[in-house]
């Protein structure tokens, strides 16, 4: 099990300054709701595993948590050129996003290792086990990276459900719909530390991942679909019902992402 060296207040000034100023603005404009924040441990490594419905998830999910939440995000957010590229890099760095290559294979392994380093530092790692945003508001099969992270780090997994963000800012839209109030609900921590050393057991990884996804479904009230979200998105796109969304993390096996 990893020994935590950091605590909830071991964070950057820039992160909290941005969270406070942006957070106050979001609270005034959109009146976001939050339930179960006390379920997020105040110290030590924690994995917050959330459904992913909207670009806005990355803002409203961590907003009520009194700790810095680190996400893994696509590297394109950090490599843009010109003024817009610079602004993007500064913003995502400030809010705690770590750049990530979205390719599969070795890139997926690097994502796991990066996540484990975050947890080894005693921090909160935010991930979206579905690997991409839901194309239709339903909850899709989780990728087993969340289970591997939990087993190898010994960190508890806090299931998290974004509420009404799909209606608040549907996929492909820029402006939010103020008729809907975004919300986030945190469930009780799930402890999988008893399986330490069994991260190579594929069936166990699937069982743990399914347990996490069922916990998220219970919190969100979403219909669960035992299909890969990217496959569903591709099928909708092919049928002319959807499109590519910014912020997807390619084939990374369930290890985080930005909104």
Find out if CATH 3.50.50.60 is the number for domain 13-32+43-238: no
Task: Find the mean pLDDT for residues 252-259.
Answer: 44
Cβ within 8 Å of residue 107, ≥6 positions away: 100, 101, 250, 251, 252
Q: Which residues contact 217 (CB under 8 A, 6 or more apart)?
A: 139, 224
Q: Is the pLDDT of residue 188 over 90?
A: yes
What is the rounded average pLDDT for all residues in the chain? 84
Q: Reply yes or no on whether the pLDDT at 49 is more than 90.
A: yes
Cα–Cα distances (Å) from 122 to 48, 63, 67, 112, 149, in that order, read 13, 19, 11, 16, 13
Q: Which residue has the tokens 């419905």?
A: 53
Among left, alpha and beta (phi > 0; psi -120 to 50; other), residue 8 is: alpha
- How confident is the model at residue 253, as a pLDDT? 47
The SS3 assignment for 73 reads strand
pLDDT value at residue 138: 96
pLDDT digits (tens, 9 = 90+) for 87-105: 777 777 767 777 766 555 6
Q: What is the pLDDT of residue 71?
A: 86
pLDDT of 178 strictly over 70: yes
Kindly state the percentage of the chain with pLDDT values over 90.
Answer: 58
pLDDT of residue 17: 80
d(CA 144, CA 112): 11
Of the two residues 215 and 229, the one the predictor is more confident about is: 215
Give me Rg for the CA atoms of the chain.
17
Report the alpha-carbon distance of residue 259 to residue 180 in Å, rounded. Answer: 18
Q: Which two tokens stand for residue 232?
A: 């569903």
Q: What is the pLDDT of residue 198?
A: 95
Q: What does the domain layout of the chain look like in residue ranges?
A: 13-32+43-238
Residue predicted with more confidence, 131 or 119: 119
- What pTM was computed for the model? 0.82
Using the CB atoms, write b or e for 88-124: b if 16+ within 10 Å: bbeebbbbbbbbbbbeeeebbebbbebbbebbbebbb
């Amino acid at each position: 099990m990893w020994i935590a060296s950091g605590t909830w207040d071991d964070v950057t000034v820039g992160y909290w300054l941005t969270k406070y100023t942006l957070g106050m603005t979001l609270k005034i404009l959109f009146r976001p709701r939050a339930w179960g924040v006390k379920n997020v441990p105040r110290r030590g490594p924690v994995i917050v595993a959330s459904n992913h419905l909207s670009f806005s998830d990355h803002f409203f999910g961590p907003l009520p948590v009194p700790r810095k939440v680190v996400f893994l995000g696509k590297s394109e957010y950090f490599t843009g050129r010109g003024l817009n590229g610079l602004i993007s890099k500064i913003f995502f760095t400030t809010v705690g996003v770590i750049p990530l290559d979205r390719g599969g294979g070795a890139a997926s392994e690097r994502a796991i290792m990066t996540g484990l380093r975050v947890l080894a530092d005693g921090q909160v790692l935010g991930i979206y086990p579905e690997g991409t945003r839901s194309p239709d508001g339903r909850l899709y099969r989780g990728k087993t990276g969340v289970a591997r992270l939990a087993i190898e780090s010994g960190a508890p997994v806090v299931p998290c459900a974004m509420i009404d963000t799909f209606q608040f800012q549907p996929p492909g839209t820029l402006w939010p719909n103020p008729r809907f109030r975004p919300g986030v609900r945190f469930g009780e921590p799930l402890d999988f530390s008893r399986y330490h050393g069994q991260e190579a057991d594929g069936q166990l990884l699937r069982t743990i991942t399914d347990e996490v996804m069922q916990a998220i479904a219970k919190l969100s009230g979403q219909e669960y679909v035992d299909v890969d979200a990217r496959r569903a998105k591709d099928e909708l796109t092919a049928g002319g019902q959807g499109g590519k969304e910014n912020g997807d993390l390619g084939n990374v096996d369930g290890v985080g992402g930005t909104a």
